[in-house]
Structure 1
Amino acid sequence: MSISLRSRFWRMVLRGMFKNQKTTIVALRANSANNSKMLGKVSKTTQVERIDIDGIQAEWLRPLSASQVNVILYLHGGGYVTGSIEDHRMMCGLLAESAGVKVLIPEYRLAPEYPFPAALDDSLKVFHWLLAHGYLPENIVIAGDSAGGGLSLAVVLALKEKNAPLPVAVICLSPWADLALTGQSHTTKAKAEAILNKDVLHEWALCYTDESNLTNPLVSPVYGDFHGFPPLLIQVGSEEILLDDSILLAEKARSAGVDVTLKIWDGMWHVWQALGDLLPENKKTFEEIGEFVQRQFGRIEKK
């Protein structure tokens, strides 16, 4: 299937901005802040509220028509070294509107200043904060993109280890789920990839944790035990080096009896959803996510 001309244009722009660009983490964070001028906008019908969760800065996105009961806890991507609320606000606003629920985005601590398990600890703290404030586990979906997708999986694996309540479902957008970088798509999709670089990913992985810890399931969830895991939606582009992370994740989860929906979007790149309404394909992208979310909440309500 051919992608739209507008998506072809943006893929070319992103390739020029990111592909094979060697830069420092400081510069990456500066670029993230600059990009937030475009990516930090939401519709006028979505309320934005900054809050403090026991020292963790976070933000509520509330569409006027949103359910007051259900919530998506969204963990942003950025390779564990960058990323923010601001450069994910537009995408999360569309997610909130499509799903008809509130979205909560926390600013978890970043590496290398705060390596593993800081991001995981912060994310677990926010999940437990939601429980303490009256949200039931069956009314919470955990979602994330790239590193945030892997972190979403790690949160549920950590909860499962402690026999703690689990969210009703998990959504992963182009998840970075194998920091050991073993997937063949790192080679087979290297030329097609518009944004990521295997060598840079390895650098980020070592900012987050030690080489000896890269196959820890709470770092690389593809090595985890998925028995008893909630339903899982994975969206990934066909032209990204992390494609095999999603395929392996889906296979591993299905073999453990998990209800997995894997959607490989032909011609799309790493976390294309971040460009929101700038891409015609995202109308269907977010409809797909919204339908999955409503189906999970509806499944619980019918019980």
Structure 2
Amino acid sequence: MLDLQIEPIVRAALLEDLGRAGDLTTDATVPPDQCGTVALIARDRGVIAGVDCARLAWTLIDPTVHVTFTAPDGSRVQPGDQIGEATGSVRALLTGERVALNLLGHLSGVATATARLVDAVAGTHTHICCTRKTTPGLRALEKAAVVAGGGKNHRFGLDDAILIKDNHVAFAGSLTEAVRRARAYAGHLVKIDVEVDTLDQVRELLDIGADAVLLDNMPPEVVRQAVEMIAGRMVTEASGRVTPDTARALAETGVDLISAGWITHSATVLDIGLDHHR
């Protein structure tokens, strides 16, 4: 992502942390002219994401701070690995520390969670993708972190594509009517994806057609039957409580995509520390 896209998010995080009076602790204990170096150290095994956010957390405070990363987004790290360092005003380094680590740790956690699912389906043709279950305000960053972890992006928002879900079907009166309305409304470049949870709905959808079908909360044996019925006429996606332990069985059904919301909304932060470089 471009700095232009990331900067408003990082700037808002810094302003939230600085409040009305700035960093009282650092300003009270560190002379304004003191310079130093800090090292970013991975304390867990995982995948790095968000390095540009961390860099901006310091350079927005002081443009003269020099930040380098030896482990760019997508790098796999082990505990004890140095992933980067920052040199410059100690006041700037300490004031930006928490925002840099919050974003770097969270986004690396998203990338790591994604990589666990990607590793689980390795050797199949199935791709792992995310959902819109993202942290408000951080969607673009979390979507980028999913890619860093080896995954694919689903919709970025409501305006990317039409995804007809159970409530849309309920209010339209039927799956067929919902798809008919969508096709009449959509522009020629807009894809239509439909969520189904039974094989009868798959048969109905095959009669009317769509670009993609989301097979929701189906066990692997049912997903396999659905994939065989669809026979490549639509992109197939499986979702619903997918874990690294269950993803392989779903992938072996031949489904094109497996989507998971938890890789963004419930990813465990990757522990990354900031150490004084003596």
Normalization by structure 1: what TM-score? 0.25
Q: Which of 1 and 2 has greater Rg? A: 2
TM-score for both structures, normalised by structure 2 = 0.27
